[in-house]
Structure 1
């Protein structure tokens, strides 16, 4: 079945926003050197983007609920383009930080709306596939967008990376305007209804677990450039290829994690993923004492790291749905906020580790955070649970399980 053009436009739009967030990792040393700040301070550009998204997304979904969908995406993408092109000309760290907040506000309005549009316009029985494709834009950014931005930054300066981000945003804007049909806005939902699931201990612990999982992974991703520079002497060109291969490994890992969740259950798949991540981090830590290590020798380990990092989210999100029971839809609506809290936390904590102890400590701390996430899910399974959802539902069946 041929995919509609509007769906491809939404996939490209989420790809653009994710690229804009993650690409800082590839040009971090250059930004820090030009603006006269430490690499840890430069990493906070990722933190502020992600934190602004996490805080704004639930509010934006309520405030913009009565806006026509195409108009919402058009104006938000226009703001995104302006913020990126202005970033290409700034020489001030503080101003660049403020422009990252503007770009994040645009993303907070667009990304949840893109998920909702894909679900609403999908043919009967294909909602899951359409939603997965739109979410795939986030993973695809690591395989294509981040390496492209890294190479452009290495060749023409980090300012060109932001210029490229604005150009991609303009392409997304034109694609949305050209293909997305007019769609009536969804009924407004009071923000207290969206936040109500947080009052349940098992959901709160589960969302904290999601945030911790992303935090541990993003600690390594955000500061991958200084880590590989210190460990293997890798520069921007080598880092670009690492992002390409790691992105492809991540795509494969996400698919395998989803299949393992269906076949083994969320708990076993989650434990397997976290154990794999911790093992890879332990090997990275051991390699630190053997530096310099040839990048080619590290490549298999980097691919396993990417694969297990993306293996973990499917069982973790399935576990969150199970913990929420009848409140599953509301909990998943806030899931993107938990993810971006984790992204911002990864930049912040990773910056503290980098500043205080050096990049060699990043893998050990990241492994500890992932194990803490597993503990949070274990505690969530032991907390008081909501009533079972409708008979026969997958969520109800999962809630009844409590594997420790």
Structure 2
């Protein structure tokens, strides 16, 4: 009698190297928030000016990612990733020794430009090397480096900065980049080359209405999610009296749930199709926002009673991006790698917009209206993807 034991195929080493690369970039981007007071004090600038180091990184990335994707579309992606990681390592280690705010800002922009060259290439490699039926899953895993950085990298980087000085945080960023560089160089094969397209033709493909609508859908997806994420502290304070200590645990739990949600969203995209997975994720998000709104009328509530809802909220928030990216790839056709670069920029626009729009809602209507406003934005995202599909048809 024989037993048929089916094992899931092991994840390839090159995929894990790309996940770690995303982890290194995201940690380097967000960790400055944890050492901002020390940087500002040592460099003799205000904390508001110090915060512009994050803005400078994000803005440089958002502007450079689509340009780099078009310019380097015909270059070896393995070579592009390794050389860009080398620049990233050098920029971080140089930042550990600077005593000038202007020089530090320039080095942060240089690190962002390196990241802008790598991230779209990493997404393109993941989709081109993914086995049939596992594209969404592989995209979700690469995106998992982001949630992993929020859950693990940023706390560790903040602790290192507190214990050894903010310069050590940049030293750690360079070390993470070096590990990623070695891992990519050892494990990453050269993916198959895509169809050769002149730059004008690639740009024309990206300018098609369905691609633009899909990108706007990505912006709306992230914007709706970040409206509540950015202002979770005042929302939970007003709803359940949550303080800073409890909030730290909430963020850790949300990061873990988000990591799981992203993987489930990628699997659902592969099994059900991107459209159905996207509808399911946005529907789940809308239901959770409705429940948060209902809870507002029952406040104050104990935090333990809200934890299950917070876990589901984090999971469905991260469920949506993998099928949204897969849908964007389908809309872009041969210009998929360049569309993924614009997707990265759209994500940063959504993050910034979530903070801005959420702040307006908070100031004008209070934190209790944030969930309802976020749900409406997510429904707009769904409408944009529907319109994009109609234009493609």
Q: For this structure pair, what is the TM-score category when the shorter chain's length is used for normalisation? A: 0.7 to 0.9
Q: Which moved more, 1:241-250 or 1:352-361?
A: 352-361
Q: Which moved more, 1:100-109 or 1:361-370?
A: 361-370
Structure 1 segment 2-401 matched on structure 2, within 5 A: 5-23=13-31, 27=34, 30=37, 36-38=46-48, 46-65=54-73, 67-87=75-95, 97-118=105-126, 122=129, 128=135, 133-152=141-160, 160-180=168-188, 189-222=197-230, 224=232, 232-235=241-244, 240-261=248-269, 266-282=274-290, 284=292, 296-322=304-330, 324=331, 327-331=332-336, 333-351=338-356, 353-354=358-359, 357-358=362-363, 360=367, 363-382=371-390, 384-386=391-393
Equivalent pair of 1:51/1:341 in contact (CA under 8 Å): no
- 1:162 deviates by 3.8
Q: Distance in 1 between matches of 2:73 and 2:342?
A: 17
1:391 matched to which residue of 2?
none
Equivalent pair of 1:30/1:157 in contact (CA under 8 Å): no
Give 5+ residue unaligned stretches, structure 1. 387-404
Q: Which moved more, 1:313-322 or 1:152-161?
A: 152-161
Q: Secondary structure of the residue that 2:308 maps to in structure 1?
A: helix
Q: Distance in 1 between matches of 2:159 and 2:302?
A: 21
Equivalent pair of 1:147/1:240 in contact (CA under 8 Å): no
Give 5+ residue unaligned stretches, structure 2. 1-8
**CA pair 173-293 structure 1, distance change in 2 beyond 3 A:** farther
Q: Distance in 2 between matches of 1:238 and 1:320?
A: 38
Q: CA RMSD in A?
A: 4.2
CA deviations on 1:379-404 (whole Å, 9 max, x unpaired) are 3344x435xxxxxxxxxxxxxxxxxx
Q: Distance in 1 between matches of 2:321 and 2:335?
A: 18
Q: Distance in 2 between matches of 1:123 and 1:377?
A: 24
CA deviations on 1:133-160 (whole Å, 9 max, x unpaired) are 4444334334432343355456666665
- 1:316 deviates by 2.5
1:400 matched to which residue of 2?
none
CA deviations on 1:52-83 (whole Å, 9 max, x unpaired) are 32332232134334555454333322322243
- 1:208 deviates by 0.7
**CA pair 343-32 structure 1, distance change in 2 beyond 3 A:** farther
**CA pair 176-214 structure 1, distance change in 2 beyond 3 A:** same
Q: Distance in 2 between matches of 1:29 and 1:296?
A: 32
How many pairs align? 377
In the superposition, the TM-score normalised over structure 2's length comes to 0.74
**CA pair 75-226 structure 1, distance change in 2 beyond 3 A:** farther
- 1:249 deviates by 1.1
Equivalent pair of 1:87/1:99 in contact (CA under 8 Å): yes
2:4 matched to which residue of 1?
none
Q: Secondary structure of the residue that 1:334 maps to in structure 2?
A: helix
Q: Secondary structure of the residue that 2:392 maps to in structure 1?
A: coil
Q: Which moved more, 1:259-268 or 1:201-210?
A: 259-268
**CA pair 117-201 structure 1, distance change in 2 beyond 3 A:** closer
